[in-house]
Amino acid sequence: AQSVTQPDIHITVSEGASLELRCNYSYGATPYLFWYVQSPGQGLQLLLKYFSGDTLVQGIKGFEAEFKRSQSSFNLRKPSVHWSDAAEYFCVVGTGFQKLVFGTGTRLLVSP
């Protein structure tokens, strides 16, 4: 069965510092991968997605993610975090239409 692991429940980063959120997936075929962000009490916003091609994908708000097949990973990065980036981040595996498997999320806290 497909699964997604986000090993960090909480991460605290200083404003201006770099960020990396980890994501590992389990899926037998080529996965379709997404990162979504959720602010408190809000819906999910799509940050970026990987379907095929270049394994380094750029998203909105200065985020990027790299697909590493050998490590079954799709880590999210940002070179310089802003206070407005504080939110919960979900790594998601898509296995075609209708079926998304969500990680349990990583809550990002940004310290001054």
Partner 1 sequence: DGGITQSPKYLFRKEGQNVTLSCEQNLNHDAMYWYRQDPGQGLRLIYYSQIVNDFQKGDIAEGYSVSREKKESFPLTVTSAQKNPTAFYLCASGRGEGEVETQYFGPGTRLLVL
Binding site for partner 1 (CB under 8 A): 4, 9, 32, 34, 36, 41-46, 49, 51, 90, 94, 96-98, 100-105
Q: What is the DSSP string of 65-100?
A: EEEEGGGTEEEEEESS--GGG-EEEEEEEE-SSS-E
Report, in Å, the least distance between residue 16 CB and partner 1: 29
Read off the tokens for 41.
Answer: 């009490």
Task: Decide whether 33 or 81 has the Cβ nearer to partner 1.
Answer: 33
What one-character DSSP code corresponds to residue 26? E
CB of 61 to partner 1, least distance (A): 16
Nearer to partner 1, 29 or 112 (CB): 29
Question: For residue 49, which of 64, 27, 70 has the smallest C-alpha distance?
Answer: 64
Least distance to partner 1, CB of residue 36, Å: 7
Q: Is 69 helix (H, G, I), strand (E, B) or coil?
A: helix
The residue (of 9 and 70) whose beta carbon lies closer to partner 1 is 9
